Amino acid sequence: MNAQPYPYKYMDSLGTRLRRRRRERGLTQEQLAIKAGTNQAVIQKIENGKSLRPRKINEIAKVLGVNPAWLMFGDRSTILSPEAVELAEAWETLPDPARRQIKDEITRLTRGTS
């Protein structure tokens, strides 16, 4: 997956970014949908701004060769490495006590305290 920002990173919507990147890749809505495991109507809804939190965003981003965070939010500051995305996804599966413990440990490590 290419996590590089694009010159049009400040496009104002998910739909605009998706449409432009899809066209750059030479894909129709239907071709993108098939490759991402969804259907053309879903891609159309995203591009028309009717679906702002698509369930298949990771798959769509992978087909388009972009980072899901960039596709969703468009800001360079949201671009995460694949490792950071993997950790964030794992984080979401943890119970609250484990999250607190890990957060405390990360905070301790980044402050250089033992």
- For residue 53, give Cα distances in angstroms to 24, 72, 75, 108: 22, 8, 16, 34
**Fold designation for 1-80:** 434 Repressor (Amino-terminal Domain) (1.10.260)
Q: What pLDDT is attached to residue 90?
A: 85
Coil, strand or helix: which one is 80?
coil
Q: What pLDDT is attached to residue 11?
A: 54
Q: What pLDDT is attached to residue 33?
A: 97
Q: What pLDDT is attached to residue 80?
A: 59
Domain ranges of the chain: 1-80, 81-114
Looking at residue 76, the DSSP 8-state letter turns out to be G
- What are the mean pLDDT values of the chain's consecutive 10-residue runs (114 residues total)? 45 87 95 96 95 89 88 69 77 90 91 71
What pTM did the predictor assign? 0.59
